[in-house]
Homo-oligomer: A and B are copies of this chain.
């Protein structure tokens, strides 16, 4: 993409309303624009990141055997009356009346609707286990929306729901999502630690929050430092097999949010030097809630003996739009964002250092074409800005690699390749720069 033809409205100054780095950088780097309190438009650069995160989430859900569907944003109030949550949900639920005075709401989560879809479509125990998910916009009418997309009102969430015959089956479904979540966050360049957590308004008796450690996080957490180095299950994990050993490895070390923190256990189980009490950002949460929804909503399957049994359910959320903020909190410096490669909006920024210099422009154009032909996504700053402004802008935007071409290097047949994370620079021939990027991609993705 040529920057001259792109829409990237970056800001020179720090927006006054932004209290944390991710909010500030998302506004400054032209990723989002606030349209109302807690409601954002995703500008082209931000949307590319959001889509990358969505893609990773989707790939890991599919790998774990979940099926994607898409539920609407608006729901009938009556559906929530069936479960008893309509009155319980409180002012965070955006309640709406249509032109015929029918009561609707903007879905904050979808346990009721998916249970309704399940009971209409599934009859037999043979159709279990079933895991259905979608990636859809939700609304929670936060009292004080803040921190940009970290605590917005309209937000993009992946929410999935499992249906099993009994608790043992439901725990296997829970384990599959546990592993899928570890993998998804890890692929985004994040270390998200599963912590025992309150079940809150979803209900149930088993829950883990996946938490990215960050000083600006809203969660108060306690954990064993051993969790910082545990290996994440591999891509070829057999989701039909026994996942208990992997789950035990990740749940044995102490990790809990303050809501369920047990100070005595923490001190007895974790050696002092490994005790970590810090803050974190919740990027996902998984719940097992048994028959909490299936009983009142009569979602049951027929057993071989003809009897009927309410299914055991779980739900599994990932804050897709919040993750953009969390990834920036975990990866930025004083110059701007430092994207992990798998979620970066472009792979490489190409900078022409002398606008108007025909040789530099020709070299940039040629390299741009070659990079794109090799499958790299390139943001090519072909504008008339001076070199310093271009470098600053590329650092702000935070693409993993930068290639700068100027008249002096070009005379020596060289371009400058810079890695945004770390800042190492090297001068090399244009084709060698391409080879280096392709090699880095191959090392990362295996393709």
Q: Tell me which residues across on chain B come within 8 A of A72, comparing CB atoms.
A: 35-36, 39-41, 137, 154
Residues 7-58 (chain A) with a chain B CB within 8 angstroms: 7, 9, 30, 33, 35-37, 39-44, 47, 50
Please report the C-alpha to C-alpha distance between residue A72 and residue B69 in the assembled complex, in whole angstroms: 20
Please report the C-alpha to C-alpha distance between residue A73 and residue B68 in the assembled complex, in whole angstroms: 21
Write the chain B residue with the least CB distance to A122.
Answer: B9
Q: Tell me which residues across on chain B come within 8 A of A9, comparing CB atoms.
A: 120-122
Q: Shortest CB–CB separation between residue A373 and chain B, in angstroms?
A: 16
Q: Tell me which residues across on chain B come within 8 A of A141, comparing CB atoms.
A: 98-99
Residues 99-153 (chain A) with a chain B CB within 8 angstroms: 99, 102, 104, 106, 113, 116-117, 120-122, 130, 132, 137, 139, 141, 143, 153
Q: Tell me which residues across on chain B come within 8 A of A120, comparing CB atoms.
A: 9, 33
Please report the C-alpha to C-alpha distance between residue A6 and residue B5 in the assembled complex, in whole angstroms: 43
| A75 adjacent to chain B (CB < 8 Å) | yes
Partner of A41, one of B40, B65, B113: B113
Q: Name the residue in A44, A102, A116 with the highest tally of chain B Cβ atoms < 10 Å from its Cβ.
A: A44
| A84 adjacent to chain B (CB < 8 Å) | no
The interface size of chain A toward B, counting residues with CB under 8 Å, comes to 52
| A438 adjacent to chain B (CB < 8 Å) | no
Please report the C-alpha to C-alpha distance between residue A41 and residue B75 in the assembled complex, in whole angstroms: 10
Q: List 21 A–B pairs whose Cβ atoms lie within 8 Å, in order of A's numbering.
A: A5-B65, A9-B121, A33-B117, A36-B104, A37-B102, A39-B72, A41-B71, A42-B70, A42-B71, A44-B68, A44-B132, A47-B69, A47-B70, A72-B137, A73-B73, A73-B154, A74-B106, A74-B154, A91-B99, A94-B96, A96-B96
Write the chain B residue with the least CB distance to A65.
Answer: B5
Q: Is the CB of B113 within 8 A of A35?
A: yes
Please report the C-alpha to C-alpha distance between residue A91 and residue B99 in the assembled complex, in whole angstroms: 6
With A96-B96, A130-B7, A132-B7: A36-B69 Cβ-Cβ less than 8 Å: no
| A67 adjacent to chain B (CB < 8 Å) | yes
Q: Name the residue in A72, A96, A141, A154 with the highest tally of chain B Cβ atoms < 10 Å from its Cβ.
A: A72
Partner of A76, one of B7, B36, B139: B36
Q: Shortest CB–CB separation between residue A10 and chain B, in angstroms?
A: 9
Write the chain B residue with the least CB distance to A143.
Answer: B99
Please report the C-alpha to C-alpha distance between residue A70 and residue B70 in the assembled complex, in whole angstroms: 18
Q: Tell me which residues across on chain B come within 8 A of A65, comparing CB atoms.
A: 5
Q: Is the CB of A39 within 8 A of B137?
A: no
Question: A-side binding surface: helix, strand, loop or mixed?
Answer: mixed
Q: Tell me which residues across on chain B come within 8 A of A73, comparing CB atoms.
A: 73, 137, 154
Q: Tell me which residues across on chain B come within 8 A of A132, comparing CB atoms.
A: 7, 44
Q: Shortest CB–CB separation between residue A268 and chain B, in angstroms?
A: 44
Q: Is the CB of A44 within 8 A of B67?
A: yes
Q: Tell me which residues across on chain B come within 8 A of A122, comparing CB atoms.
A: 7, 9
Q: Is the CB of B154 within 8 A of A36?
A: no
Write the chain B residue with the least CB distance to A79.
Answer: B35
Q: Is the CB of B70 within 8 A of A50?
A: yes
Please report the C-alpha to C-alpha distance between residue A197 and residue B73 in the assembled complex, in whole angstroms: 31
Please report the C-alpha to C-alpha distance between residue A139 and residue B43 in the assembled complex, in whole angstroms: 22
Given A7-B130, A36-B74, A41-B72, 12 extra CB contacts under 8 A: A7-B132, A9-B121, A33-B120, A35-B71, A35-B79, A35-B113, A40-B72, A41-B70, A47-B69, A92-B99, A99-B143, A137-B137
Partner of A35, one of B75, B91, B143: B75
Q: Shortest CB–CB separation between residue A137 and chain B, in angstroms?
A: 6
Q: Tell me which residues across on chain B come within 8 A of A104, comparing CB atoms.
A: 36
Q: Shortest CB–CB separation between residue A146 and chain B, in angstroms?
A: 14
Please report the C-alpha to C-alpha distance between residue A130 and residue B4 in the assembled complex, in whole angstroms: 11
Q: Tell me which residues across on chain B come within 8 A of A30, comparing CB atoms.
A: 121
The 9 closest A-B pairs by CB, nearest first: A9-B121, A42-B70, A91-B99, A41-B71, A99-B141, A39-B72, A72-B154, A36-B76, A47-B70
Q: Name the residue in A98, A122, A132 with the highest tally of chain B Cβ atoms < 10 Å from its Cβ.
A: A98
Please report the C-alpha to C-alpha distance between residue A40 and residue B67 in the assembled complex, in whole angstroms: 18
Q: Tell me which residues across on chain B come within 8 A of A91, comparing CB atoms.
A: 99
Please report the C-alpha to C-alpha distance between residue A69 and residue B74 in the assembled complex, in whole angstroms: 22
Write the chain B residue with the least CB distance to A33.
Answer: B117
